[in-house]
């Protein structure tokens, strides 16, 4: 298997290496819409009342786009992200990713989708504390049934890309928050997904470490044209990194607009 | 996820909650140990009794001719020819009996009354031949001296009552004689046996005539028995024994031999009884049937053996049930441990699902944990059960020796019991893991990830 990463480097952060862009583009960027959401609803029944976490959302996210889902707590942004991740099933409507309607997939098919198409990072990192850093990153490879002999090298290389090659045998608890999030990022990318879903990735980090992590995500998006969906309640963060800002309230999209600041920054670069 | 990955992750998870998982595994071990200990005792006792039965003529079929009306005649002896057409019990018949599947050895029951001279004093007694196979018979437990060195050795074993008589002691109750006391002055000494050899007369094959020639044989006393090896023979009971082959070569006139008896019509020796030794009490019935088809009567102490085997099977079943009860309790421990593990590792399960674990992967992981506890508990349980069995055996033997009995193995752990206990432990653990594994697999990943 060819190496996934090439070194694209970047100022102020750890060097980032990614796989041949040509292969990646051929494999994953043929479709213009990475995600197509139509009339998506996710309702929960709480006693007699119905919670409308996601309520009739329709949305199209293009391949390689960096989108931020903004909103206050309880606005439905994480619920929408979970539906895109295939962790949750919609009450109605559809989420089509790579021409597959997630609502029509079985539980096993959804697992395969999460394994190969999606990479996720969370606010609370969600690393398994009993495993070393290397083992945490290796974990998705176990489920993907990658040969044992190759897993260690692949995980070590992914950790090297996020600047953690010296921490392979450490446990998550022995790392700083920023380092833990970088481990989570390496884990999310180890199976070469074409969609990165980040749920408040800087929520538990100080501003400097948060910036480091966001720079890493931005470089992934730019270098690989990897589609990134970022959930955040920090408007400044969203405006700094996302190309498009989608605001939610009460499970509905209340605003969907391009980010002029980011477009300007791209234009300058 | 591949099996070895499931096992590896399971082993890691088991190590993480070492104390709780160790206690659960110990619970399984106790269950398996009780099962192994009880069944090993049951099997051991069964084997002990089986050995005793085999040593006590339960593996013996006594064959007689149907022409000999003194022989045993039972209602079920309906197979084969009628008495008048029954073949002679001669060397040819003996060979046929020996060739029956399951027969270890077939030898004629030879015995006669002989005169013995010991230290110039004459003694009269019944003498019988003993095959070397009888060496391990219980009847020779407590014997002083040794068994015959070869099958043709000019050696003799005395019953202690006769030994006492040789020493001039006249005792009515055998319990009053201490075998060591009577054996000590007799062992290695010689005695002269006088007997009548039967020699066929005339050239014609059907000649009924024969000659009787007086012979002498010098025998060395090699053993004195405490028990009576010939106790089942009533009035024909022998008190002096020589090797069977030696006896056969002597062609001595038999105790019940007379010209008009059924076997005096040929110059060939014809026997009243042939004893067939069977390879295990379990084959006695089939051997008896086969010999009856050859046209002879048979006798064995079979029914008692059958009843005992049936009784032991029932005992084994009950012991197994009691042993399994402990394992059932242990299986509840597995369920409890794994359900607790689901609660504790709820978030971990959510993470696994988020990074691509399928329901089957999660289910497999919990199955692997249950199976690993089952295998570990099984191995440990077999070892503990083995030790318990040994301890009981050791304690029982101390008691037996103190009570004046010989040591006995009342405990046996055959290979199949170890394999069955391990398999049973593994299967019970997997069954116990069914519910927790299914519950873990069905966890909603979103809910699991929210769990703190």
Query: Chain B residue closest to A88 (CA)?
Result: B446
What tokens appear for B325 in the block? 């009860």
Question: Are the beta carbons of A152 and A138 closer than 8 angstroms?
Answer: yes
Tell whether A106 is within 8 A of chain B (Cβ): no
Residue B376 — pLDDT band, cuts 50, 70, 90?
very high
What tokens appear for B445 in the block? 């990943």
Judged by CB atoms closer than 8 Å, whether chains meet at B361 and A140 is answered as no
Return the pLDDT at A6. Answer: 36
Q: Mutate which of A88, A122, A138, A139 to disrupt the B interface (most B C-beta within 10 Å)? A: A139
Question: Is a pLDDT exceeding 50 seen at residue A23?
Answer: no
Among candidates B443, B433, B383, B438, which has minimal Cα distance to B413?
A: B383
- B-chain CB neighbours of A128 within 8 Å are 348, 351
Give the gap in angstroms from C-alpha B444 to the nearest C-alpha of chain A: 8
Alpha-carbon span B81 to A94, nearest angstrom: 91
Tell whether B2 is within 8 A of chain A (Cβ): yes
Query: Chain B residue closest to A131 (CA)?
Result: B12
In B299-358, the residues whose Cβ lies within 8 Å of chain A are 347-348, 350-358
Alpha-carbon span A256 to A259, nearest angstrom: 10
- Burial of A5-19, coded b for 16+ CB within 10 Å and e otherwise, reads bbebeeeebbebbbb
The backbone torsions φ and ψ at residue B406, rounded to the nearest 5 degrees and listed phi first, read -80, 160
Q: Which residues contact A146 (CB under 8 A, 6 or more apart)?
A: A154
Q: Which of B15-29, B206-220, B348-362 has the lowest mean pLDDT?
A: B206-220
Judged by CB atoms closer than 8 Å, whether chains meet at B354 and A112 is answered as no
In the 3-class helix/strand/coil scheme, how is B106-135 assigned residue by residue? EEECCEEEEEEEECCEEEEEEEEEECHHHH
Question: Is a pLDDT exceeding 60 seen at residue B52?
Answer: yes
- B-chain CB neighbours of A145 within 8 Å are 1-2
Residue B152 — pLDDT band, cuts 50, 70, 90?
confident
Return the pLDDT at B389. Answer: 86
Question: Are the beta carbons of A32 and A15 closer than 8 angstroms?
Answer: no
Return the pLDDT at B320. Answer: 82
Judged by CB atoms closer than 8 Å, whether chains meet at A126 and B358 is answered as no
- B-chain CB neighbours of A111 within 8 Å are 353, 356-359, 361
What's the CATH number for A11-268?
3.40.50.300
Judged by CB atoms closer than 8 Å, whether chains meet at A87 and B16 is answered as no
Alpha-carbon span B50 to B312, nearest angstrom: 10
- A-chain CB neighbours of B347 within 8 Å are 126
Nearest to A145 among B2, B354, B446 (CB): B2
Query: pLDDT tens digits for A188-208?
Result: 999 889 899 999 999 888 888
Return the pLDDT at B156. Answer: 92
The backbone torsions φ and ψ at residue B446, rounded to the nearest 5 degrees and listed phi first, read -65, -45
Question: Is a pLDDT exceeding 60 seen at residue B450?
Answer: yes
Nearest to A108 among B352, B354, B359 (CB): B359
Query: pLDDT tens digits for A222-241?
Result: 888 889 999 998 899 999 99
Question: Are the beta carbons of B27 and B326 closer than 8 angstroms?
Answer: no
- A-chain CB neighbours of B9 within 8 Å are 142
- A-chain CB neighbours of B440 within 8 Å are none
Q: Which of B24-38, B134-148, B158-172, B216-230 has the lowest mean pLDDT?
A: B134-148
């Amino acid at each position: 298997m060819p190496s996934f990463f090439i070194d694209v480097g970047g100022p102020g952060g750890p060097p980032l290496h990614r796989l041949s862009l040509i292969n990646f583009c051929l494999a994953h960027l043929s479709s213009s819409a990475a995600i197509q959401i139509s009339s998506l609803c996710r309702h929960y029944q709480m006693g007699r009342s119905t919670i409308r976490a996601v309520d009739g959302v329709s949305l199209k996210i293009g391949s390689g786009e960096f989108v931020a889902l903004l909103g206050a707590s309880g606005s439905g942004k994480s619920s929408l992200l979970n539906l895109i991740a295939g962790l949750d099933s919609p009450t109605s409507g559809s989420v089509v990713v790579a021409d597959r309607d997630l609502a029509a997939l079985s539980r096993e098919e959804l697992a395969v989708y999460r394994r190969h198409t999606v990479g996720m990072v969370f606010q609370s990192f969600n690393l398994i504390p009993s495993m070393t850093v290397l083992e945490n990153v290796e974990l998705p490879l176990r489920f993907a049934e990658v040969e044992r002999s190759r897993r260690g090298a692949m995980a070590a290389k992914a950790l090297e890309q996020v600047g953690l090659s010296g921490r392979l045998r450490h446990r998550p608890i022995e790392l700083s928050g920023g380092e833990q999030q970088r481990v989570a990022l390496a884990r999310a990318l180890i199976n070469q997904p074409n969609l990165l879903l980040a749920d408040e990735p800087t929520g538990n980090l100080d501003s400097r470490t948060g910036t480091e992590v966001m720079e890493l995500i931005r470089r992934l998006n730019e270098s690989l044209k990897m589609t990134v969906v970022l959930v955040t309640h920090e408007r400044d963060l969203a405006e700094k990194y996302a190309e498009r800002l989608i605001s939610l309230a009460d499970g509905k999209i209340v605003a969907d607009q391009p980010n002029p600041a980011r477009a300007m920054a791209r234009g300058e670069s | 996820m591949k099996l070895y990955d499931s096992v590896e992750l399971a082993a890691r998870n088991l190590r993480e909650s070492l104390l709780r998982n160790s206690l659960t595994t110990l619970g399984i071990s106790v269950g398996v140990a009780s099962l192994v200990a009880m069944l090993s005792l049951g099997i051991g006792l069964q084997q002990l009794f089986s050995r005793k039965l085999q040593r006590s003529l339960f593996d013996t079929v006594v064959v007689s001719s149907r022409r000999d009306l003194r022989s045993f005649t039972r209602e079920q002896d309906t197979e084969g020819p009628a008495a008048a057409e029954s073949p002679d019990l001669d060397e040819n018949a003996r060979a046929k009996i020996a060739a029956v599947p399951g027969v270890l050895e077939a030898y004629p029951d030879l015995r006669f009354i002989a005169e013995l001279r010991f230290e110039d004093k004459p003694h009269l007694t019944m003498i019988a031949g003993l095959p070397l196979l009888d060496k391990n018979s219980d009847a020779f437990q407590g014997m002083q001296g040794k068994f015959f060195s070869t099958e043709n050795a000019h050696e003799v074993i005395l019953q202690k009552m006769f030994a006492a008589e040789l020493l001039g002691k006249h005792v009515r109750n055998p319990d009053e004689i201490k075998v060591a006391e009577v054996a000590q002055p007799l062992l290695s000494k010689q005695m002269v046996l006088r007997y009548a050899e039967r020699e066929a007369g005339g050239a014609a094959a059907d000649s009924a005539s024969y000659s009787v020639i007086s012979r002498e044989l010098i025998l060395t006393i090699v053993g004195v028995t405490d028990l009576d090896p010939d106790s089942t023979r009533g009035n024909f009971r022998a008190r002096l024994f020589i090797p069977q082959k030696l006896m056969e070569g002597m062609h001595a006139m038999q105790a019940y031999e007379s010209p008009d008896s059924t076997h005096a019509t040929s110059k060939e020796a014809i026997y009243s009884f042939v004893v067939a030794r069977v390879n295990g009490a379990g084959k006695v019935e089939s051997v008896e049937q086969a010999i009856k088809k050859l046209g002879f009567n048979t006798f064995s102490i079979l029914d008692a053996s059958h009843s005992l085997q049936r009784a032991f099977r029932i005992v084994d079943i009950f012991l197994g049930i009691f042993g399994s009860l402990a394992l059932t309790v242990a299986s509840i421990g597995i369920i409890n441990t794994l359900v607790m593990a689901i609660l504790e590792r709820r978030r971990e399960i959510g993470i696994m699902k988020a990074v691509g674990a399928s329901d089957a992967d999660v289910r497999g992981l919990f199955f692997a944990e249950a199976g690993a506890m089952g295998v570990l508990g099984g191995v440990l349980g077999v070892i503990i059960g083995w030790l318990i069995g040994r301890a009981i055996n050791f304690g029982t033997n101390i008691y037996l020796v103190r009570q004046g009995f010989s040591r006995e193995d009342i405990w046996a752990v055959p290979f199949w019991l170890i394999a069955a206990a391990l398999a049973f432990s593994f299967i019970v653990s997997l069954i116990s893991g069914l519910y927790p594994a299914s519950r873990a697999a069905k966890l909603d990943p979103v809910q699991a990830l929210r769990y703190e």
